[in-house]
Structure 1
Amino acid sequence: MRIPQLPLRISKRFHSREYRLAGREQSVSVDFDGKNALELKSGHIARFASSAVVASSGDNAVMATVVQKKEKQGDGNGVPLQVEYRPSASAIGRIPTNFLRKELSQSDTEILISRAIDRSIRPLLPTNSYETQVICKPLALDENADQIMLGINAASTALHISSAPFSGPLAALRVTMSSRGTFQINPTQEEIREASLDVIIAMKKNQKTIMIELDGKEVSAEHLEQACHVAFENVEKLHVAMEKMAVGVEKDVLPTKNLEKIEKILRELVTERVYYVMTDSTHDKISRDQEIQKIYRDVVESKELQSHSPQDIYPCYSALVKQILRETVLNTGIRCDGRKITDFRPITIQVDMYKKLHGCSMFQRGQTQVMSTVTFDSPTAAFHPDSVAQLLGSQRKKSFMLHYEFPSFAINEVGISRSSNRREIGHGALAEKALKNLFPKDFPYATRLACQVLESNGSSSMASVCGGSLALFDAGVPMKSAAAGVAIGLITDQNEPDSKYKVLTDILGIEDYAGDMDFKIAGTKNGFTAAQLDVKNDGLTRQQLKESLQAARSGIDHVLSKMNIMRDRPREEFKTTVPIIQSIRIEPHKRVTLFRNNGYNCKLIEAETGVKISAEDENNISLLAQNKQKLQKAMDMMGEVLETHGNLDFAFGSIVQAEIVEIVDRGVFVTLPGSSQRIFMNNNHLSLNPIRHPEVLGLKIGDKMSTTWFGRDEHTGNIRLSRRTLTGAAHPATAQKPKK
């Protein structure tokens, strides 16, 4: 029988230059200070991807893969990029603690890492590039793993050695400053926790800064600039290593549409109308957006552009709107709402609007409005991370939590209410970072600060910092200092971006949309506590960065002066609605009475009074009550329980009469005079001879016997009784259980 010859199909990828480069093994190592070497390796793993790189430092390794879908190209309305940092419990030698025992979804930590990687690489890809997906996954991690730094460098290198039109190289470093004022590069987790300044900086080869993530304890602008300078001096080694790995790589030549005809028609049709809208300071966010959309609809329906699709018209129209706004600001120094580049929008503040709340504020800056509420609860309500996150140090127990909410109605849109998205998690983490180092460490309550954006026209996360600080003051939290935040923008000239530019203070949403930078900076009168830099161009020069920090410093001082008029210090006493927390010292043997039998007595008191009872340590318990009356009722009930069950005490070695109330195989339960507390006596304490069952001694329920009081166990508080010394001669009974 003749076997028919079937056509052999081989994937084109195996014959492509991209695949051959992906399979070319190469490795480079960068040594910073003799102990923090970073190795980049490719060609040995995930070779079906467009490119894959493993960044490793010590025993830590993170893999980044890049895949491009060359059948689909961006439409110019944004970079078609997906970035995902996927969790891996096996990388740290653990099994996930969820029901299915496998990785189900990203935690907040992985989402924040994904955002940091995305914000670093997105500005260096064109909007018309092919659809690109970057997936980062940890391969091995220990307690000193710096997942953000490894992830950014692995993703950047993977893009740089792929055919994607990535205008790298881009490298990231973490720099910390100790309390002594010394700087460390890529520090350990212990050094990060003790540092007064912790900053991650991603920058290009020309020393332009692309991304900054700052966590500080009121650090000065000078110290932040010094940290950036340390990064500038050391990052060049990484750039050289990445360039070495990219030798021989050919970048994609992206097909482009010839839209010059559309652009010319648009300039003739709508330039004057758009300019009029952009210079009319009477417009607010909604009316300005409506006018811009109306002009666009007119353009699409015009006879001059009837032969062109809206998909081609919109990118050109959007670019024209941005260009007009940018040129107006650059040429006149006046913004679309009539402000100068250093002016703030009007600020209005309210506090204590609702007496029932533990603390609240309403912070309004222009058309951005945030309501912040503070809630106090028992220490058990604090955030507790799972064992995997705790082992990595990426998440820790938090008694202070800030949650940021951005509903769709805040921007006049229809949306679906669901769990927090990546943006909400990122903005909430930034606002929490701005306030957490000001929160007192010994505060007795677990505290939740909820920041709800009710209106948004730019800088809602920084408004959350301002409103959150006011709400904490209104609640009576003894903060170290008040904090405020401001968003700084940048508009550069297309031909001379490094020398001709304007730094904007307190940017609008449309200025964020059309501008080159969104630099969110928060701090106190003493220094910065948090910062987050996002850019849309090829980065900030050192001079632009310096001017941005100066603008932020003066802006924060301005906002703090407005906030201090309303409330310049925490209220001296908590509101009457704040729950009362009382710490009580209880001896270990009495504490057992409360929490034994799965906490039966404790739950009974909680159900009756509504008071939360929790254990602080081995000697103290905490009571949280809504008012003094409920607290007193709970303490009275607790006293009754302890009086009934935990007040037995006799002289050591004294003889006590005990009554048998239950017999089990391994011993008997007895009660003592004046108490109903059941005390267990093991078989070993019933007789000098070893026995297997108490009945061999002729013991029955209801019998009374003499026992010796040996006090309480120092660890458990259990009463120790014995009759071995009182049984006299050895009992003739055998060690067998009697027959029934």
Structure 2
Amino acid sequence: MREITFSFLEKEENYIFDKFAKQANGSVYYKSGDNVLLATVAVDCDSIVEEDFLPLTVQYIEKAYAAGKFPGGYIKREAKPGDFETLTARIVDRSLRPLFPKNYCYPTQITIIALSVDGEADLQILALNAASAALYTSEIPLNLPVNGVRIGKIGGELVVNPSLSNMEQSTLDLFVSGVNDDVLMIEMRTFGGVDVERPSNPLSFVTTLIDDEKAKFSANAMDEAELMRALELAKTQIAKKSKIMQELFAPCIKAPVALTQERKSYHCQRIQDFIAQNYLGQLREVITFLSKTERGSKLKSFAKAIAQDFAIQFPQDVESLDERVWDSLEVWKRKMIRQMILEEGKRADGRGLKEVRPISIETNILPKAHSSALFTRGQTQALVVCTLGGDMDAQGYELLTDKGGAKEHFMVHYNFPPFSVGEANPIGATGRRELGHGNLAKRALECSIVGSDSKTIRLVSEILESNGSSSMATVCGGSLALAAADVECTDLIAGVAMGLVCEGNKYAILTDIMGLEDHDGDMDFKVAGSKNGITALQMDIKLGGLNTEILHNALLQAKEARLHILGLMEEAKSKIVLNTAVLPSSQIFAIHPSKIVEVIGQAGKTIKEIIEKFEVAIDLNRDNGEVKVSGGNKEKVDAAKAYIIGIANNKEDKPSIAELYKIGDVYEGKVKKILDFGAFVELPHNYDGLLHISKITNNRAESISDYLKEGDIVRVEVLSLNKNKVELGLKK
């Protein structure tokens, strides 16, 4: 057992290695404050995965006992992971995945369990710290420790790793992971302006919105220069902690386990030379087929033809020929795509490096849905449908760091059916990727919505065709669907996926990448925002890290594309025809609080009659007299509003104060309420008069509470009658 303790950003971190879960290939018991997490790494050294992907799985698991709670629901045992657990696992996975060598083929499982949690814990930072330490010191020969920081913006200042309570005041949530000077992963979103009520846990996937006609706000977008300053701050802190971790954890690194097996290699220089001599021209023609599915089938047919020709010329060398030809063809395809981009400035579909694919937009094509938007960009197509509801339609949830349950009033659900990429498979359960893409779109859109926490909005994105960045198509379609549902938004939000091809000192940034460029490129960089700046960002890098200059240039190039797409979206928005026949309507108005009981009626009889007669839902606030009427028909909602106002105004009004009181009248009354500027005194006929502090003392430094308290009986004189106000003086 080894124990390491150090302080970083004024917080003590304690790592205990190989005391717990000692049969795992690596483990750490990680403690920060009252938060405790156990991270383990297990590798199957006896089997390998032949398919060309990294067989890494990350699980993040929260135990209810960690916060002194019982699991919610009927079954009192943790089962299916919640959305926050899945999203946290994805962040850890995406941060650690770039560390593994390209040919790593051993099934590897990283498990992080939250054992003790306080209400201020940033569990995503803690989970990454624990997992990275366990992996770095494990028997897997990886020699770099990843760490991450969260940057907030509070009071106009950038803050590193703010507490949850401080994050409630932040307009920025930027999560960056990396190692030394290299950035590996970025997650970013902005919150709305000062008129947005923060979620109870600002690191969750939920934001509650408010509605105030006098307090409109704009989407709190961040410009590219300010974002770069935040990223530089994050990089500085990551580099500092990387140095600490490498120095202190070095004695804890286990001897590497023997990983001697390798994937079966079909690399064949003879076949690659054969393709180079005879087929490169034809390969370029196949690559440039515009249709993704057609390109795939052409490539398979082309590989078969090459194999047949090769077998004729080299009949003695036909073992595993199909596999070797396909592997060699993939090598040349990747080389050719990257060469075309770097040396010719051309892409497989003929576009320039900064060119966005053709876009078409249709709105409200579904007659019975509240709204819909069909957004098509090249071979990527998203049908986004909006449904509006009330408070009862909100999604309940509870996070480990929350004191109680809460509701999610804005949801984005992303579906990726297999037919969208031409696969003949049934539609299954929602996967991690679908959850992550939906969350990214939600983070991009949420700060643009002006709404109420009694309004629930659900966006569902059905990906009908996919060839590059369906999540950004969801952002564009989602913003238009909100507009088509007549949801008040500050700005339209558009998204675009950027790519990168880098060889030595040469690099090229690609706008609006398609699947081919994502597969054979070096970066997937998604940027969403309004005309004023960025609202959400996600970056995954396949290189060891990303140069700051490249990142800055990618942001500026993404801005050009975003403004182009927003122009087309604005044009489409101007042509929207609302589905008024099915679009639900709501009216919020106020009556005197004393009239609420009359709207309800004896035993609720009156309000039940209104609900049945007009087919509406009614919410009443007894404290301030606010009434909300909502329903599926605007005319009936308006009629119900008029009916309720009629009830409130139907009763005989009180006599005016001029009829009840005369200047000079003297009364004895009870002090009902004390305020800084005076006291309200109860008068006959159910009116209250104001006894101003100036009528009690001329010393401004003195408080009225020095003379009076609630419940006192005082003798007062009517000094003036001003509209419906009675002004009093103290009578001795």
- 8 Å contact kept, 2:67–2:401: no
| Cα 1:39/1:471, change in 2 over 3 Å | same
Aligned to 2:183: 209
- Cα deviations by residue, 1:703-725 (Å, 9 ceiling, x for unpaired): xxxxxxxx9xxxxxxxxxxxxxx
**1:448 partner letter:** R
* Alpha-carbon distance between aligned partners in 1 of 2:265 and 2:161, rounded to the nearest angstrom: 48
| Cα 1:640/1:330, change in 2 over 3 Å | closer
* Alpha-carbon distance between aligned partners in 2 of 1:66 and 1:387, rounded to the nearest angstrom: 26
**1:545 partner letter:** L
- 8 Å contact kept, 2:120–2:401: no
Q: Which TM-score applies when normalising by structure 2?
A: 0.76
| Cα 1:169/1:594, change in 2 over 3 Å | same
**Following superposition of structure 1 onto structure 2, how do residues 186-585 of structure 1 map, counting pairs within 5 Å?**
186-205=161-180, 207-216=181-190, 217-243=220-246, 244-247=248-251, 248-252=253-257, 254-255=259-260, 262-271=267-276, 273=279, 276-279=282-285, 281-298=288-305, 303=311, 306-308=318-320, 317-386=329-398, 388=400, 390-391=402-403, 397-442=407-452, 445-493=455-503, 496=504, 499-567=505-573, 575-583=580-588
SS of 2:272 mapped into structure 1:
helix
**2:126 partner letter:** L
Pair 1:160-2:136 in alignment: yes
Equivalent residue for 1:110, pick from 53, 73, 85: 85
1:25 Cα deviation from its structure 2 partner: 1.7
* Alpha-carbon distance between aligned partners in 1 of 2:633 and 2:377, rounded to the nearest angstrom: 37
- 8 Å contact kept, 1:377–1:624: no
Aligned to 1:52: 27
1:178 Cα deviation from its structure 2 partner: 1.9
| Cα 1:260/1:282, change in 2 over 3 Å | closer
**1:344 partner letter:** V
* Alpha-carbon distance between aligned partners in 2 of 1:133 and 1:296, rounded to the nearest angstrom: 36
* Alpha-carbon distance between aligned partners in 2 of 1:315 and 1:250, rounded to the nearest angstrom: 34
Aligned to 1:144: 120
Which entry has the higher C-alpha Rg, 1 or 2?
1
1:26 Cα deviation from its structure 2 partner: 2.2
1:478 Cα deviation from its structure 2 partner: 2.3
1:171 Cα deviation from its structure 2 partner: 1.3
- 8 Å contact kept, 2:412–2:461: yes
Pair 1:171-2:154 in alignment: no
SS of 1:200 mapped into structure 2:
strand
- 8 Å contact kept, 1:92–1:140: yes
| Cα 1:589/1:482, change in 2 over 3 Å | closer
- Cα deviations by residue, 1:120-171 (Å, 9 ceiling, x for unpaired): 1111113433210001111111221111111112111111111213352211
**1:59 partner letter:** D
- 8 Å contact kept, 1:581–1:622: yes
**Following superposition of structure 1 onto structure 2, how do residues 672-691 of structure 1 map, counting pairs within 5 Å?**
none
* Alpha-carbon distance between aligned partners in 1 of 2:436 and 2:622, rounded to the nearest angstrom: 34
1:464 Cα deviation from its structure 2 partner: 0.9
- 8 Å contact kept, 1:380–1:614: no
* Alpha-carbon distance between aligned partners in 2 of 1:261 and 1:388, rounded to the nearest angstrom: 49
* Alpha-carbon distance between aligned partners in 2 of 1:576 and 1:426, rounded to the nearest angstrom: 34
- 8 Å contact kept, 1:476–1:574: no
**1:30 partner letter:** S
**1:505 partner letter:** T
Pair 1:28-2:28 in alignment: no
- 8 Å contact kept, 1:378–1:581: no
1:622 Cα deviation from its structure 2 partner: 3.1
- Cα deviations by residue, 1:89-137 (Å, 9 ceiling, x for unpaired): 1111110121111111111111110111111111111343321000111
* Alpha-carbon distance between aligned partners in 2 of 1:315 and 1:605, rounded to the nearest angstrom: 71
- 8 Å contact kept, 1:41–1:53: yes
* Alpha-carbon distance between aligned partners in 2 of 1:642 and 1:71, rounded to the nearest angstrom: 78
Where in structure 1 are there 5+ consecutive unaligned residues? 1-23, 648-710, 712-740
1:299 Cα deviation from its structure 2 partner: 5.9
| Cα 1:76/1:314, change in 2 over 3 Å | farther
* Alpha-carbon distance between aligned partners in 1 of 2:387 and 2:436, rounded to the nearest angstrom: 22
SS of 1:561 mapped into structure 2:
helix
**2:269 partner letter:** K
1:275 Cα deviation from its structure 2 partner: 5.8
* Alpha-carbon distance between aligned partners in 1 of 2:307 and 2:235, rounded to the nearest angstrom: 48
1:455 Cα deviation from its structure 2 partner: 0.9
| Cα 1:148/1:297, change in 2 over 3 Å | farther
- 8 Å contact kept, 2:587–2:638: no
SS of 1:72 mapped into structure 2:
coil
1:236 Cα deviation from its structure 2 partner: 2.5
1:565 Cα deviation from its structure 2 partner: 2.3
1:185 Cα deviation from its structure 2 partner: 1.2
Pair 1:129-2:102 in alignment: no
- Cα deviations by residue, 1:49-95 (Å, 9 ceiling, x for unpaired): 11112333322222211000101123251101111111211111110
Please say which of residues 308-317 and 378-387 is displaced more in the overlay: 308-317
**2:186 partner letter:** I
SS of 2:74 mapped into structure 1:
coil
**2:250 partner letter:** A
- Alpha-carbon RMSD across the aligned residues, in angstroms, is 3.5
Aligned to 1:7: none
**1:242 partner letter:** M
Q: Indicate the percent of aligned positions where both proteins have the same amino acid.
A: 29
SS of 1:457 mapped into structure 2:
coil
- 8 Å contact kept, 1:61–1:138: yes
1:260 Cα deviation from its structure 2 partner: 7.5
- 8 Å contact kept, 2:304–2:322: no
* Alpha-carbon distance between aligned partners in 2 of 1:258 and 1:466, rounded to the nearest angstrom: 41
SS of 2:439 mapped into structure 1:
helix
Where in structure 2 are there 5+ consecutive unaligned residues? 191-219, 652-685, 687-732
* Alpha-carbon distance between aligned partners in 1 of 2:521 and 2:411, rounded to the nearest angstrom: 32
- 8 Å contact kept, 2:592–2:648: no
Q: How many residues are matched?
A: 614
- 8 Å contact kept, 1:162–1:249: yes
SS of 2:44 mapped into structure 1:
strand
- 8 Å contact kept, 1:277–1:291: no
SS of 1:71 mapped into structure 2:
coil
Q: Which TM-score applies when normalising by structure 1?
A: 0.75
| Cα 1:96/1:509, change in 2 over 3 Å | same
| Cα 1:378/1:348, change in 2 over 3 Å | same
